[in-house]
Amino acid sequence: MGIINFGDVETKILCIRNFQVILDSDVAELYGVKTKEVNQAVINNSEKFPKGYIFELNQTEKNEVVKKFDHLSNKRFSPYLPKAFTEKGLYMLATILKSSQATQTTIAIIEAFSKLKTLSRNIKILSATEDESYKRELLKQSGELITEILDDNTQSKETETTIELNFAVLKFKHTQKKISS
């Protein structure tokens, strides 16, 4: 797969049982190994994966993700229920899988989760704060995060991204101008 970037990771993050997770087959693809190897690493190191680090989807959840996400259609006829790695589980897996690609993938995963958490936190604070100066700073930071999340690493001399989000209590519009060197 080569160098892993934020976009590669971000598209694989699913919300299941109110957790942001990445399924075992997607983890394997990101790490450049077979799904069987990821699951074997978990079995061989079960003490490193307590409750809240990894869970097995039930049949209904499996059917739902297969229906919603095209890249998981090959799971439709698999007799195995996928395992879902939470952020903690992914960090722990990173301590077990040792390779250059595993290191790069771990960094990309940490960055993806961190950016999503920061953006979520900023949106929550924006709806509650009265300080206009602080709001402008949060909007700027959030706009930069959204631009990074949506950036597809294309080469261009200059881009301008305008993002407008309308939440129940907040309308957010930010323009980010990016000049490549």
Token reading at 134: 């602080």
Q: Please tell me which residue, 136 or 86, carries the higher pLDDT value.
A: 86
Chain position carrying tokens 């995060």:
145
How far does CA 149 lie from the centroid of its chain?
Answer: 10
pTM above 0.85, yes or no: no
Task: State how far the Cα of 76 lies from the Cα of 11, in Å rounded to an integer.
Answer: 19
> Could you state, in order of their start, the residue ranges of all structural domains in the chain?
6-116, 142-179
Predicted confidence (pLDDT) per residue in 71-129, tens digit: 787 788 888 999 999 988 988 888 887 777 777 777 777 777 788 788 888 888 877 88
The burial class, CB within 10 Å (0-12 / 13-18 / 19+), for 94 is middle
pLDDT surpassing 50 at residue 155: no
pLDDT at residue 57 in the model: 95
pLDDT surpassing 80 at residue 31: yes
Write the single-letter amino acid at 173.
K
Q: What is the CA radius of gyration of the chain?
A: 19
pLDDT at residue 81 in the model: 94
* Segment of 2-16, 66-80, 138-152 carrying the highest mean pLDDT: 66-80
